């Protein structure tokens, strides 16, 4: 179980680091999401995005270090829980078409069950990592890092597949 926990910690570290880098690379989209999706005033959106990106980077680094993995997992759980609550709020307010900035590519998928399930799963995994890492745990081995990269690739592929809209009878591509 410890080996799986380390592998999942490495995956979450890579995902959080990629998310932080994406916020800096796609600044305008991130700022728009902070304002439109999260409700942050436009004038402070750049600062809010920077703070969240730094929190994601901090969680990523902490998840990689055995002695700090539990703290990194708890920070990751706070991040995923925050995103989950914002998605729930947007859905409850009937704002399913707002861009949450949740994907690395342009997303035309309305907020719904996929986003809720994805973030709930990421939150649950972070909480499990925290519980399993309470006594430290071992370092990330090369094979576990490779598996984490593979999980990140699968995560990205699933994210892209979920954006696709199936053709209806009579439609052309």
pLDDT digits (tens, 9 = 90+) for 85-108: 999 999 999 998 888 888 776 666
Mean pLDDT, rounded, for 37-57: 96
Asked if residue 91 is part of any domain, the answer here is: yes
**Is residue 40 over pLDDT 90?**
yes
- Domain assignment present for residue 170? The answer is no
The pLDDT of 2-22, averaged and rounded, is 92
117, HSE (Cβ side, Cα atoms, 13 Å): 6
**Of 143 and 37, more confident:** 37
Structure tokens that stand for 123 in this block: 């939150």
Does residue 51 sit within a domain?
A: yes
Residue 169 lies in a domain: no
Is 166 part of any domain?
A: no
Residue range of the domain that includes 131: 2-161
- What pLDDT, on the 0 to 100 scale, is given for residue 99? 86
- What is the number of structural domains in the chain? 1
In a domain, 150, yes or no: yes
Mean pLDDT of the chain: 88
Token pair of 78 as six digits: 């706070």
**Domain assignment present for 171:** no
pLDDT digits (tens, 9 = 90+) for 112-126: 898 999 999 999 999
The answer to the question of residue 172 being in a domain is no
């Amino acid at each position: 179980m410890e080996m799986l926990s380390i592998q999942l910690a490495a995956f979450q570290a890579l995902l959080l680091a990629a998310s932080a880098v994406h916020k800096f690379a796609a600044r305008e989209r991130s700022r728009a999401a902070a304002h439109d999706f999260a409700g942050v005033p436009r004038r402070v959106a750049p600062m809010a995005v920077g703070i969240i990106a730094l929190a994601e980077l901090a969680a990523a680094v902490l998840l990689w270090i055995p002695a700090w993995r539990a703290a990194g997992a708890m920070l990751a759980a706070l991040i995923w829980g925050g995103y989950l609550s914002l998605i729930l709020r947007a859905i409850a307010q009937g704002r399913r078409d707002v861009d949450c900035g949740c994907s690395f590519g342009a997303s035309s998928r309305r907020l719904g069950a996929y986003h809720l399930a994805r973030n709930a799963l990421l939150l649950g995994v972070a909480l499990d990592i925290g519980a399993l890492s309470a006594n430290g745990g071992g370092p990330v081995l090369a094979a576990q890092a490779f598996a984490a990269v593979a999980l990140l690739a699968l995560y990205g592929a699933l994210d892209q597949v979920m954006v696709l809209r199936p053709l209806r009878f009579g439609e052309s591509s």
